Structure 1
Amino acid sequence: MDVVSDAISAVRVGRPSSTRLRVGGSWCVRLAPYEGAGFHVVLEGSCWMLPEGGSAICLNAGDAVLLAHGTGHVMADRPADRATVERAVDLPHWADSSVFDSPGDTEVLCGKYRLDRRNTHPLLAELPDVVHIPNRVGRHGELRAAIDLLGREVGAEHPGSAVALPSLLDLLLVYLVRAWMADSTTSRWPAALHDPVVAAALRALHEDPARPWSNDRLAAQVGVSRATLARRFTALVGRAPMAYLTWWRLTRAAALLRTTPDALDAIAQRVGYSTPYALSHAFSRQYGTTPGRYRAGVTA
């Protein structure tokens, strides 16, 4: 697994949901904050989005927006002033079409992803509240292809749609994160994954977290001195290599507790702990609870 795949897999739970809305005339709706992440893709026409604490954004056909932290916001047919916002219709569910689906010349694909914030990877934590990817010729061709496919699937009754749609929504999330990384010029994690030394070290740790890594062994793996690795890795990742490895092992253990019935000793071996006791002790320090209670809380 690569870092981006691991970051998304660690935090994602359940199935994403979406709906395709067509609106027209004068309309204005408010979407409450959400614990996961939400998105909007304008398929036809245009509209405006006003995020909480932010400036209004004009969305045109082909534009995509990822609200990575579930920020509450207003969607409207025009740049709404505060008085208009106060009169907005509350839309309780991000993928609920019953409130304002009506004939019109603007069509929007809306949806949400369920996320377990306890396992948020710093790459995803660094995403801004609003990631706006404008539709520009020659930019982010994979994202455009995914949007086109989604536009054909959502709301249709094609054979196999029940399987295709969740997979396409997962693909959309990956491409939105990729587009942000490609466009970002100041964020730490895109820089980390473009640095050949740091990227190679991260890849090694993610490919085999159970390996008995040390700073010397990891430095030899990526072909630099221990001092060089420590300096570049810490500057871009925000943690020293072995501190990041410990965090990732426990984050991975949490995901396995949430998604598999595997016994604790099997999970310990998969993430690099010699005994269930060693894993339980480290897990309790990071999460404030035992693995058993964590698993029970997830499945309750």
Structure 2
Amino acid sequence: MDVVSDAISAVHLGHPWSRRLRTSGDWCARRDPYDGAGFYVVLKGHFWLLADGGAPVSLGAGDAVLLPHGTGHVLADFPIDAAVAEKKAVPFARWVVEAEGRTRPDRHATELLCGSYWLDCSRMHPLMAELPEVVHLPSQVSRHLELRAAIDLLAGELDELRPGSCVALPSLLDLLLVYMIRAWMTDAPSGAWPRVLGDPVVAAAVRALHTDPAAPWSNDRLAAEAGVSRPTLARRFTALVGRPPMAYLTWWRVIRAATLLRDTPDTLATIAAQVGYGSPYALSHAFQREFGITPGRYRAQAGERSGGIGAD
């Protein structure tokens, strides 16, 4: 798998939630912080978003916005500040129910797509962790044609129940998340991980570690894979990624093991072999050092958390 796919898969849980809503008149809704990521796409009209601790963002038709860390926020059809939001905002779940019940055509209505992804943020990949609290992708998303296409397909599926919708909707929502992150990486080249994946040497090394984390990697072998000397790789990798190559590999092996514990019924011995540990004991020791709990306890807790995230 490529690095972006791995970073998303490591935290993505359950089935996403989504709605197509129509609202009009004066409205203001508050969503409290939650364990996940949320998005909005404006299909028609205009509204404002105020994230906790942030500045108001004006959203118009064609705009998309991703809140990758589940930041609490307020939506309103008028410019807002924290004081106004505290007085006027209704709970988000209540607002969604009211908006869903509004089916009568209204040329002044605001129409939007909204949704949530449930994420396990216990050990988030740094690519995901460095995403800002609010990723605003203005209506010039025509520069990102695949994002525009995913939005159009998702809007169509949410318009009416069609054969296969139960399969199509989760897949389109996952695709939308990938395309929004990809668009952010294109538009934010100063970010650490856009720079990592834009550096041919470091990107080659990171891809090699993600492609086969179980391989018997060493600094010399990884440098040969990247086509540079060992000192050159160590210097460039550490400067961009924030840790030396073998330290990153150790961390990634444990994160990959956590994903397999969460998403598969494989035994600890099988998982250990898949991620490059010679025995279940060695993996268990490394896992406890990183997560503070045993692999078995982590798996049990992951099972208890399985499900989805909605509007509440």
CA distance in 2, matches of 1:259, 1:88: 42
Q: What's the offset of the Cα at 1:145?
A: 0.6
CA distance in 2, matches of 1:4, 1:133: 19
Q: What's the offset of the Cα at 1:44?
A: 1.0
CA distance in 1, matches of 2:139, 2:217: 44
Q: What's the offset of the Cα at 1:182?
A: 0.2
Q: How many residues align?
A: 299
CA distance in 2, matches of 1:209, 1:80: 48
Q: What's the offset of the Cα at 1:57?
A: 0.8
| Equivalent residues of 2:37, 2:116 under 8 A apart | yes
Q: What's the offset of the Cα at 1:159?
A: 1.0
Q: What's the offset of the Cα at 1:154?
A: 1.3
CA distance in 1, matches of 2:162, 2:44: 21
Residue 204 of structure 1 aligns to a residue in which SS?
Answer: helix
| Equivalent residues of 2:28, 2:89 under 8 A apart | yes
| Equivalent residues of 1:66, 1:176 under 8 A apart | yes
List gaps (5 residues or longer) in structure 1: none
CA distance in 2, matches of 1:189, 1:93: 35
- Normalising by the residue count of structure 2, what TM-score does the alignment of the two structures yield? 0.93
Question: 2:272 aligned with 1:273, yes or no?
Answer: no
List gaps (5 residues or longer) in structure 2: 305-312
Q: What's the offset of the Cα at 1:111?
A: 0.5
Q: What's the offset of the Cα at 1:186?
A: 2.0
CA distance in 2, matches of 1:93, 1:29: 9
Q: Partner of 2:10 in structure 1? A: 10
1:186-225 alignment runs, 5 A limit:
186-225=190-229
Q: Pick from 153, 173, 184: which aligns with 1:149?
A: 153
Letter in 2 for 1:98: V
Question: 2:121 aligned with 1:121, yes or no?
Answer: no
Alpha-carbon deviations, 1:2-49, whole Å to 9, x = none? 000000001001010101110111111111111111010111111111
Residue 140 of structure 2 aligns to a residue in which SS?
Answer: coil
CA distance in 2, matches of 1:16, 1:80: 29
Higher relative contact order (CA 8 A, sep 6+): 2
Q: Pick from 286, 292, 295: which aligns with 2:296?
A: 292
Letter in 1 for 2:137: I
| Equivalent residues of 2:50, 2:75 under 8 A apart | yes
Q: Partner of 2:307 in structure 1? A: none
Residue 16 of structure 1 aligns to a residue in which SS?
Answer: strand
Alpha-carbon deviations, 1:258-278, whole Å to 9, x = none? 111101100000000001111
Q: What's the offset of the Cα at 1:84?
A: 2.8
- 1:130/1:176 CA distance change after superposition, 3 Å: same
Q: What's the offset of the Cα at 1:295?
A: 1.0
Question: 2:30 aligned with 1:26, yes or no?
Answer: no
| Equivalent residues of 2:141, 2:148 under 8 A apart | no
Q: Partner of 1:162 in structure 2? A: 166
Q: CA RMSD in A?
A: 1.4
Q: What percentage of residue pairs aligned between the two structures are identical?
A: 64
| Equivalent residues of 1:201, 1:222 under 8 A apart | yes
Letter in 1 for 2:67: L
Alpha-carbon deviations, 1:140-188, whole Å to 9, x = none? 1110111111111114111111100000000000000000000003210
Q: Which runs of 4+ in 1 moved over 6 A?
A: none
CA distance in 2, matches of 1:89, 1:150: 28
Q: What's the offset of the Cα at 1:137?
A: 6.3
CA distance in 2, matches of 1:151, 1:73: 23
| Equivalent residues of 1:32, 1:90 under 8 A apart | no
| Equivalent residues of 1:2, 1:207 under 8 A apart | yes
Letter in 1 for 2:245: P
1:172-187 alignment runs, 5 A limit:
172-187=176-191
| Equivalent residues of 1:20, 1:97 under 8 A apart | no
Residue 40 of structure 2 aligns to a residue in which SS?
Answer: strand
Q: What's the offset of the Cα at 1:66?
A: 0.3
CA distance in 2, matches of 1:165, 1:12: 16
Residue 217 of structure 2 aligns to a residue in which SS?
Answer: coil
Residue 49 of structure 1 aligns to a residue in which SS?
Answer: strand
